[in-house]
């Protein structure tokens, strides 16, 4: 077999996705409908579906080379954060989740550093990939971020880096593991621990106290695609161990067109803002559609 079967001049997903197992190019056929039904069922069960070896073996080397090439441009930041990425509240007990802070140290390669000819950018923009993701999460269509920094990013975790317990700003998130560390970097989550109707602070506090009854753990492998309802499921990535970095591509989509992340979040995560964020500082950001804490 050739080292790579990815045709970078083609608009097809052939070589980028294992289309025999995941027929994104023919979702209306019986095999495509079975795939969608399986993904929806798993997502409904615990808010997470993992498509093992979504990227064919022959393309994994090139994919890893891409994120290796991009990783030096990652902006690293370290801060103490609670699960809601908010300030503490001195009106609440110290045991309350809003007053429980942990170290968050990681790096992000911004979207404007990822060119159009990369595998990950082509996959992010591909109509068949977008239709598949939309169908799995139960939407007619999804939209690429209008945020040039946060639309498509590479998360880089070096030794000691971690994502402590947190929720996502997005209702759902799509990720692709492109490099595994020597050890650590495991994904753990408490499926559906909160909902748009309530925060369930008591349940969150139990997780922070070390209760594992609600937890699930994933040992992701290279080329695994994950679709995850991270707005409602508390989750973390455990500290990376060893000299080998952990690389994860994050494909960011929104329900409505024109979504842009908050300016302060862009500054913190990427160390800078784009012009669209500068405008938001003057014009004011739109409010979220739910009342949950970010």
Per domain, the residue ranges of the chain are: 24-283
Question: Would you tell me the crossing angle of helices 275-283 and 263-270 to the nearest 10 degrees?
Answer: 140
Check: CB of residue 70 under 8 Å from CB of residue 119. Answer: no
Tens of pLDDT, residues 128-163: 999 999 999 999 999 999 999 999 999 999 999 999
Query: Is pLDDT of 286 > 60?
Result: no
- Decide: pTM greater than 0.85: yes
Tens of pLDDT, residues 63-96: 999 999 999 999 999 999 999 988 999 999 999 9
> In which band, very low, low, confident or very high, does the pLDDT at 48 lie, cut at 50, 70 and 90?
very high
Residue 108, helix vs strand vs coil: strand
- Count of Cβ atoms closer than 10 Å to residue 219 Cβ: 10
Average pLDDT, the chain: 92
Query: Is pLDDT of 3 > 60?
Result: no
- Tell me how far apart the alpha carbons of residues 173 and 181 are, in angstroms, rounded to a whole number: 21
What pLDDT score does 203 carry?
97
DSSP 29: S
Query: Is pLDDT of 285 > 60?
Result: no
Tens of pLDDT, residues 97-125: 999 999 999 999 999 999 999 999 999 99
> Which CATH class name applies to 24-283?
mainly beta
Distances in whole angstroms, Cα of residue 222 to Cα of each of 83, 109, 181, 214: 27, 19, 11, 26
What is the average per-residue pLDDT within 181-201?
95
What pLDDT score does 219 carry?
87
> In which band, very low, low, confident or very high, does the pLDDT at 243 lie, cut at 50, 70 and 90?
very high
Of 168, 132, 167, 138, whose CA–CA distance to 153 is shortest? 168
What pLDDT score does 2 carry?
37
What pLDDT score does 262 carry?
86
Distances in whole angstroms, Cα of residue 86 to Cα of each of 79, 141, 287, 293: 12, 31, 16, 8
- HEC string of the chain equals CCCCCCCCCCCCCECCECCCCCCHHHCCCHHHHHHHHHHHHHHHHHCEEEECCCCCHHHHHHHHHHHHHHHHHCEEEEEEECCCCCCCCCCCCCCCHHHCCEEEEEEEECHHHCCCCCHHHHHHHCHHHHHHHHHHCCCCCCEECCCCCCCEEEEEECCCCEEEEECCCCCCEEEEEEECCCEECCEEEECCCCECCECCHHHHHHHHCCCCCCCEEECCCCCCEEEECCCCCEEEECCEECCCCEEEEEECEECCCCCCCCHHHHHHHHCCCCHHHHHHHHHCCCCCCCCCCC
Check: CB of residue 160 under 8 Å from CB of residue 240. Answer: yes
């Amino acid at each position: 077999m050739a080292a790579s079967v990815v045709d970078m001049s083609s608009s097809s997903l052939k070589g980028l996705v294992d289309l025999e197992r995941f027929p994104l190019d023919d979702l209306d056929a019986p095999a495509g409908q079975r795939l969608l039904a399986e993904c929806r069922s798993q997502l409904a069960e615990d808010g997470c579906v993992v498509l093992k070896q979504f990227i064919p073996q022959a393309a994994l080397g090139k994919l890893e080379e891409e994120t290796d090439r991009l990783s030096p441009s990652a902006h690293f930041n370290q801060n103490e954060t609670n699960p809601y990425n908010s300030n503490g509240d001195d009106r609440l007990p110290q045991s309350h989740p809003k007053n429980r802070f942990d170290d968050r140290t990681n790096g992000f390669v911004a979207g404007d550093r990822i060119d159009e000819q990369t595998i990950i950018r082509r996959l992010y923009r591909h109509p068949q990939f977008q239709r598949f993701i939309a169908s799995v999460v139960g939407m007619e269509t999804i939209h690429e971020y209008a945020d040039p920094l946060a639309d498509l990013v590479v998360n880089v975790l070096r030794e000691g880096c971690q994502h402590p317990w947190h929720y996502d700003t997005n209702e759902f998130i799509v990720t692709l593991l492109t490099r595994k560390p020597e050890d650590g970097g495991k994904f753990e989550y408490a499926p559906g621990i909160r909902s748009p109707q309530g925060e369930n602070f008591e349940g969150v506090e139990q997780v922070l106290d070390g209760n594992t009854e609600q937890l699930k753990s994933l040992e992701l492998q290279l080329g695994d695609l994950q679709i995850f309802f991270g707005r409602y499921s508390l989750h973390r990535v455990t500290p990376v161990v060893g000299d080998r970095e952990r690389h994860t591509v994050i494909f960011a989509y929104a329900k409505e067109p024109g979504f842009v992340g908050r300016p302060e979040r862009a500054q913190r995560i990427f160390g800078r803002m784009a012009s669209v964020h500068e405008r938001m500082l003057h014009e004011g950001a739109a409010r979220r559609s739910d009342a949950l804490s970010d």
